Structure 1
Amino acid sequence: MAEKPTVMAVQKALESAKKRNFTETVELAINLKDVDLTIPKNRIQEDIVLPSGRGKSVKICVIGGGELALKAKDVADRVITPEELGAIADDKKQAKKIANDTDYFIAEAPLMAVVGKRLGTVLGPRGKMPKPIAPGADPAAMIEGLRKSVTIRSKDRKTFHAPVGSADMSAEEIAENIDLILKRVESHLEKGKYNIASAYVKTTMGPSERVL
């Protein structure tokens, strides 16, 4: 049976990439057409749980206190208590470092307004505003989902990128992730796939292969 076009493109991208002494990320570049992204409602931002996962560690930070902080201690990469929040917000250098080092933030729902006010200028432009969670809830399931997730975000540019796996994953696994992302991107566009000019897959430092 013939390989699917996406699988073939991923296979080519993986094979044509030089061997590195680290595991490269595999990225998807999507180019849109006939979409006015200066209009905010036309922009795309969505978290997608990838069927084959990211193939690399995804860092999660939980902002909250009490029971939530206790439950998050063993499953999150970092926990910021309400008491620590102010000190971090006042130290812009530290706030930026945490924002850059963290893939996703989760915050106790009553703290969302405070987080927005104190850290919004750092997290907002990076598309990393926290996802709310009920006080005292067990964050394990949410964290597990986020560890397999990727954020697609077009901002105001017609070309945007998303990680779709790592070079040590199989071409089939990466292709499965790509097909789902393209399907979700299409669902946000007025003309669906006809608003996608092209899509390319590549390893971080390797040549790109056309997927669409």
Structure 2
Amino acid sequence: MAHVGKRVVASREGIDRKKLYTLDAAVKAIKERATAKFDETVEIAMNLGVDPRHADQMVRGVCQLPNGSGRTVRVAVFARGPKADEAKKAGADVVGAEDLLEQIQGGNINFDRCIATPDMMPLVGRLGKVLGPRGLMPNPKVGTVTMDVAAAVEAAKGGAVEFRVEKAGIIHAGIGKVSFDEQKLIENIRAFADSVAKAKPSGSKGTYIQRIAISSTMGPGVKVEPASVLVTA
């Protein structure tokens, strides 16, 4: 049997694993139990009533967190000429074309978000097997294939969080840090849940958002009453 440390045992005390908490109570419980020596990420997990194996039940999108994610996001941009200059001015960490392609093919992937202008996609497409599994492939559905590279870079740096449903019908995302005050975390969680709700696919039948839970990186999960989270039906 795996050994459970004292800190983990202590963090679980007072949490009823079967109870659904209001969002306010859940956030308070998470913050009180975040005792790691670093600024833990607050994460959300949403169980959806979809089967992603069917194209009409895929859920994907992006949410601009109102209070940012608390993460330092490194952004790479595939662009040439004036658009490359625009990306650099907006704060992109890596900008290039064929040189960036070679860098990535060589295994040097030192960025968290990848953006491309539409004319660069034939080049970027050659990196599908490298960027795809990492969730870094630019996609127009989430605003990472665009001519407005400055806005895309600023959004990524400012707290834009992409989401995509996994095979089991679950969406995971980091929506802030435990150092955020409770109200900012609540606003971020509601904004994220609202974006997922609005991304409901046409093939979803029955209850779309079935369960929601939040946790910190090293803390216990707390189940949340969906009605206390959702701001739209």
TM range (shorter): 0.7 to 0.9
Judge which range, 162-171 or 66-75, deviates more: 66-75
Q: Within 5 Å, give how 1:82-161 maps onto structure 2.
A: 82-91=97-106, 93-94=107-108, 98=109, 101-116=110-125, 118-130=126-138, 131-134=144-147, 139-147=149-157, 148-161=159-172
Q: Within 5 Å, give how 1:1-212 maps onto structure 2.
A: 5-18=22-35, 20-33=36-49, 35-91=50-106, 93-94=107-108, 98=109, 101-116=110-125, 118-130=126-138, 131-134=144-147, 139-147=149-157, 148-187=159-198, 188-189=200-201, 190-191=204-205, 194-212=207-225
| Counterpart-to-counterpart distance in 1, 2:44 and 2:37 | 22
Aligned residues with identical type, % of pairs = 33
CA 1:111–1:11: 2 relative to 1, 3 Å: same
Q: What is the CA distance between 1:143 and its match in structure 2?
A: 1.5
| Counterpart-to-counterpart distance in 1, 2:176 and 2:101 | 35
CA 1:25–1:120: 2 relative to 1, 3 Å: same
SS at match of 1:57: coil
Unaligned runs of 5+ in 1: none
CA 1:103–1:86: 2 relative to 1, 3 Å: closer
The amino acid of 1:67's aligned partner reads: P
The amino acid of 1:128's aligned partner reads: L
CA 1:63–1:76: 2 relative to 1, 3 Å: farther
CA 1:159–1:133: 2 relative to 1, 3 Å: closer
Unaligned runs of 5+ in 2: 1-20, 139-143, 226-233
Does structure 2 conserve the Cα–Cα contact (< 8 Å) formed by 1:17 and 1:203? yes
Q: Which has the higher helix share?
A: 1
CA 1:125–1:209: 2 relative to 1, 3 Å: same
Q: What is the CA distance between 1:49 and its match in structure 2?
A: 0.6
CA 1:191–1:9: 2 relative to 1, 3 Å: farther
Does structure 2 conserve the Cα–Cα contact (< 8 Å) formed by 1:63 and 1:82? yes
The amino acid of 2:120's aligned partner reads: L
State the TM-score, normalized to the length of structure 1.
Answer: 0.82
Does structure 2 conserve the Cα–Cα contact (< 8 Å) formed by 1:198 and 1:211? yes
Q: What is the CA distance between 1:183 and its match in structure 2?
A: 2.1
State the TM-score, normalized to the length of structure 2.
Answer: 0.75
The amino acid of 1:6's aligned partner reads: L
| Counterpart-to-counterpart distance in 2, 1:108 and 1:159 | 30
Does structure 2 conserve the Cα–Cα contact (< 8 Å) formed by 1:43 and 1:156? no
Pairs aligned (count): 196
Does structure 2 conserve the Cα–Cα contact (< 8 Å) formed by 1:72 and 1:140? yes
CA 1:67–1:200: 2 relative to 1, 3 Å: same
CA 1:54–1:90: 2 relative to 1, 3 Å: closer
